Structure 1
Amino acid sequence: MEKTGKIYGINGPVIYIKGKTDFKMGEMVYVSSERLVGEVISLTSEMTTIQVYEETSGLKPGELVYGTDSAIFVTLAPGILNNIFDGIERPLSEIQKQSGAFISRGVNVNSLDINKKWNVHITVSEGDYISGGTIIAETQETRAIMHKSMVPPTVSGTVIKTAPDGEYTINDTIVTIKKDDGSTMNLSLTQKWPIRQPRPITKRFGATQPLVTGQRIMDTLFPLAKGGTAAIPGGFGTGKTMNQHQIAKWADADIIIYIGCGERGNEMTQVLDEFSELIDPKSGNPLMDRTTLIANTSNMPVAAREASIYTGITLAEYYRDMGYHVAIMADSTSRWAEALRELSGRLEEMPAEEGFPAYLASRLSAFYERAGYMENLNGTEGSISIIGAVSPQGGDFSEPVTQNTKRFVRCFWGLDKSLAYARHFPAIHWLTSYSEYVDELANWYNTNVGPDFISCRTQILAILNQESSLMEIVKLIGSDVLPDDQKLTLEIARVIRLGFLQQNAFHSEDTCVPLKKQLLMMQTILYLQEKAGKLISMGMPMSVLKKHNIFEKIISIKYDVPNNKLSMFDDYKLAIDNFYNKVMEENA
């Protein structure tokens, strides 16, 4: 018998049912004859409260709400990649076929194509004992990714029948097992999983290797570990979205999940257009072959925005369970927090700081804690790295979302509007940003890139910090009064800022830089500082050194040295030696 309840009251996306019902906390429901998707968020003996993931205008008291006996879930099967979904995993391409350019209410589409036939290779045999996470079939989902269909985490038993290799839809039975309790169960390529429940793992590892992005300031100064968490906070126009685009394009993750949470529609369109045209540098295939987009633009219902990041992280956990490294771009968690605030206000909950609900911190921590480098149930290793953009109003980093996010992430790439307005991109400020992964990753960098990588990084940061202190004096009394060794520090800091930290996304050699080149650039800049410092200590004035073109020559290394011709750095070391000898000869 179907469970139902009658609408008693409606407040935006929140509806109320008076009296006791048989619904369960977190249960997915269908609202009215239009079957709008909703979720039970509060239960008492007098009232049931439901948040609706679609537009509620036109609903009226007395309409029926239908229970489903299951939580809000996502469908996990081949077909997720190279797709774009809304916040509750409905494919926008299928919705467009039904309702045109705008999503109509109550639109009912399957999350994944149930008619498409996939070429399936069965990986288990009759008599095998299988349990949660065991890979039972492999399907070439896209040119870049092999999809590994697994036993649902809560299921185990002995295989009594397998289908032959061939073409199957995602709902066809491919393996039949006899469960431990004696009952039989058919397994297909599909499993469903509730979005608010983390998928189980065997073990969590510490940070041991970086997520290499090809962006120098991120890889060198403030690295993010695979399985780590990072925040990119910044005011309007500072480049949060563009930084995430760069990471999505170039990071050494196997799979990218991009969640556009409350973003402008034209930005999501730009992501779609760019990603569909981009070629993956690792495989030569289109980047969308290993990308899934979740589009929940600012004009979509606010409750679905709240659900979208859970949908994204659940899809990421599914691919992590196959042994892949997944990077999630959440853009932006501030819009997600605003959705929480709006729903909390509708529910008449006691507001905390700036009107956000008191549980903002616990919701943020629950999201970021689902990142990590894991050993999966099937013995494979995979990771989820989360990069969350934060959009503090007016660029104020002291507001609640930024402050609470800082508590739960270990890498903070603070964007600075003065850098952005000066066209210095990425506009990550080296004085406000930090990474707590540096010590844990030091061994990896020194072993895989070069033994002095971390010491070079430390020296570069020290020069930038010295520049900041000296600039306070320069602002007061000018740079002419500084001794020459301090003038040299300012000049080397300028070389670091323009030649190393500033990066051009539109230049073929500069858009993504290998770690070895990053190290050689640092070594060259520090070698220039060493040689120029010797000249200064011998009494050569800074004005004499600046007559030579060497500082500008080192700045242009990022463009002039191709990423595949790193032997050219020897020429620059020679040029610095020639500069040193020439100054010595001229002033002998």
Structure 2
Amino acid sequence: MSQATQTDIDVVSEGRIESVSGPVVTATDLDARMNDVVYVGQEGLMGEVIEIEGNVTTIQVYEETSGISPGGPVKNTGEPLSVDLGPGMLDTIYDGVQRPLDVLESRMGAFLDRGVDAPGIDLEETWEFTPEVTEGDVVEAGDILGIVPETKSVDHKVMVPPDSEGGEVTAVESGEFDVTETVVELDSGEEIAMRQEWPVRQARPTENKRSPDRPLVTGQRVQDGLFPLAKGGTAAIPGPFGSGKTVTQQSLAKFSDADIVVYIGCGERGNEMTEVIDDFPDLPDPQTGNALMARTCLIANTSNMPVAARESCVYTGITIAEFYRDMGYDVALMADSTSRWAEAMREISSRLEEMPGEEGYPAYLAARLAQFYERAGLFENINGTEGSISAVGAVSPPGGDFSEPVTQNTLRIVKTFWALDADLAERRHFPSINWTESYSLYKDQLDPWFVENVAEDWPEVRQWAVDVLDEESELQEIVQLVGKDALPDDQQLTLEVARYLREGFLQQNAFHDVDQFSPPEKSYLIWQAIKTFNDEAFAALEAGVPVEEITAIDAAPRLNRIGTQEDYEAYVEELQGDIEDQLREKY
């Protein structure tokens, strides 16, 4: 059931409230099915059927239930919770059940009243429809009928609904239409408009799910270089409070090379979502030069909003992402955070008196997480196009304990793990991704792309960097016991090389105009420059040059400044020459 005004609702049955427990309401004498949308009480609070036992129907209400009392009416619409799909979703901010917040604010101000609905897309705004089919063409479910310029950055592709039987086009219109007007008629009598509805808990159909083979280029060196994510892949960003989860996800939203971004603020602090809402409209898109919001849809369900709406907001977001994937776009979906979503499930489950699982979470926690992440992927669509959804979920484990259920169940599903470290954040090392705990299972299948598009020796140079960082981790334990000066010269030199990898490659300044985005070509050249220093330094050491003289050369500190250089290719070429000259002079 999409969010139309309540006067438009067709009521198929009506019952009475029996009991109220927070967002969970039970009703009697209600003829309903699972997941039907209902309206509760005189205020008409929106809810969803989640349990039916005999004559008693249990409902989770998406709004504050204070003032609701037994005996009040419950009206059933007979339709599941659905979203409005069509032009107008980009450059829009929704709540968890796809009510546009700017529309609600214009009606009632900053604080939302209860029982207020608004359509997910503007039903009166007109769009320029340019058909791509003509009379006599035969179309099937999912086929593209025409193009609408939704924003400066994205063309919206009007499609045959996926549940349509298709047929021969008997009439097609071009020009200005609102989303409810018919633009194509079929010989079956079906009239197709630009607007679709789709149940949020049901995945949209596809032809085939493929193994991803292209990286989602994020512009973050530690992610693209060491722990890449595929287009159509899944990733988790767990980390304790203050470790940079939200900033990391915002950087991904800003700089990843996806066509569409769907950002779900699920139960996070209001000030963080305010920052997103304030910043995104003013941010330029590094890909198109237009506003970033022109290819972004925001879903804001903050921690002070009703808990039940938090449970549905991830489904709203993934359904919108699937709609753009069906057009052939690559979509990046950010869920911040799945822990708050799981906590909402736990609260609802406890009010239903279900048998709790580990740490009070419901026994179906792992299944729900899997259902969400499995809707991501690289797909062959039913219309012959290819599209992807890359899902990145932030996890907020209490106290940074990665052994808690949400983190552990997420790790069983996702294939990329970016572990944020509070100690690195305290040392102002950002992004604070711990390179010893993180991993990516996409590396082998993405290496051919990096070899073809960046450098033939990409895998070898990356492995060299990983080996140096691993060796540094082992040496640090010894250094803490006996001090750095007690190590042999070659190990002291390894620590120095690893320091440049940490400071020059792994660290990245999200607030520097140049360093905030680093293409893979730049990341590779930084590796090469540090490797040049490594090779020349060890050659000098073997020739008898003291390690103190090697590390004291003027060129070495410039390794840390490559990230901030606009003309990084010329800078690296000059730097490598200076390193070779200065070290070879010594032997």
Q: When the two structures are superposed, what TM-score results if normalisation uses the length of structure 2?
A: 0.97
> Which residue is 1:469 aligned to?
474
CA gap of 1:434–1:160, structure 2 versus 1, over 3 A, is: closer
> Which residue is 1:70 aligned to?
79
Instruction: Report how far residue 551 of structure 1 moved.
Output: 2.3
CA gap of 1:160–1:201, structure 2 versus 1, over 3 A, is: closer
> Which residue is 2:510 aligned to?
505
Alignment-mate amino acid for residue 304 of structure 1: A
Contact 2:238 2:394 in 1 (8 A): yes
Q: Structure 1: 5+ residue runs without aligned partners?
A: none
Aligned counterparts of 2:295 and 2:41: Cα–Cα separation in 1: 38
1:317 and 2:322 matched: yes
| Cα distance per residue 1:179-200 (max 9 Å; x no partner) | 3xxxx22110011000000000
> Which residue is 1:54 aligned to?
63
Instruction: Report how far residue 565 of structure 1 moved.
Output: 4.7
> Which residue is 1:225 aligned to?
230
Contact 2:354 2:362 in 1 (8 A): yes
What secondary structure sits across from 2:170 in the alignment? strand
Aligned counterparts of 1:442 and 1:284: Cα–Cα separation in 2: 30
Contact 1:129 1:156 in 2 (8 A): no
Contact 2:12 2:78 in 1 (8 A): no
Aligned counterparts of 2:274 and 2:366: Cα–Cα separation in 1: 31
- Number of aligned residue pairs: give it: 577
1:126 and 2:135 matched: yes
> Which residue is 2:37 aligned to?
28
Contact 1:123 1:137 in 2 (8 A): yes
> Which residue is 1:97 aligned to?
106
Matches within 5 A, 1:168-179: 168-179=177-188
Aligned counterparts of 2:552 and 2:53: Cα–Cα separation in 1: 79
Contact 2:556 2:579 in 1 (8 A): no
> Which residue is 2:547 aligned to?
542
What secondary structure sits across from 2:225 in the alignment? helix
What secondary structure sits across from 2:17 in the alignment? strand
Matches within 5 A, 1:161-560: 161-179=170-188, 184-559=189-564
Instruction: Report how far residue 154 of structure 1 moved.
Output: 1.3
Contact 1:159 1:175 in 2 (8 A): no
| Cα distance per residue 1:199-233 (max 9 Å; x no partner) | 00011111201000110000000000000000010
| Cα distance per residue 1:330-355 (max 9 Å; x no partner) | 00100010000000011011111111
CA gap of 1:245–1:260, structure 2 versus 1, over 3 A, is: same
Aligned counterparts of 2:465 and 2:167: Cα–Cα separation in 1: 59
1:8 and 2:18 matched: yes
Aligned counterparts of 2:500 and 2:117: Cα–Cα separation in 1: 58
Instruction: Report how far residue 32 of structure 1 moved.
Output: 2.0
Alignment-mate amino acid for residue 374 of structure 2: E
Contact 2:134 2:172 in 1 (8 A): no
Contact 2:266 2:314 in 1 (8 A): yes
Contact 2:170 2:187 in 1 (8 A): no
4+ residue runs over 3 A deviation: none
Q: Structure 2: 5+ residue runs without aligned partners?
A: 1-10
Identity %: 51
| Cα distance per residue 1:400-432 (max 9 Å; x no partner) | 111111011000000000100000000001001
Task: Supply the RMSD in Å over aligned alpha carbons.
Answer: 1.1
Contact 2:550 2:583 in 1 (8 A): no
What secondary structure sits across from 1:226 in the alignment? coil
Q: 1:573 aligns with which of 567, 572, 576?
A: 576
Aligned counterparts of 2:48 and 2:152: Cα–Cα separation in 1: 37
Aligned counterparts of 1:333 and 1:426: Cα–Cα separation in 2: 20
Aligned counterparts of 1:164 and 1:197: Cα–Cα separation in 2: 31
Instruction: Report how far residue 128 of structure 1 moved.
Output: 1.8
Aligned counterparts of 1:483 and 1:500: Cα–Cα separation in 2: 25
Contact 1:127 1:158 in 2 (8 A): no
Aligned counterparts of 1:374 and 1:357: Cα–Cα separation in 2: 31
Contact 2:378 2:387 in 1 (8 A): yes
Aligned counterparts of 1:57 and 1:135: Cα–Cα separation in 2: 46
What secondary structure sits across from 2:484 in the alignment? coil
| Cα distance per residue 1:508-565 (max 9 Å; x no partner) | 2211011111111101111110110111122222112122223212122222x32x45
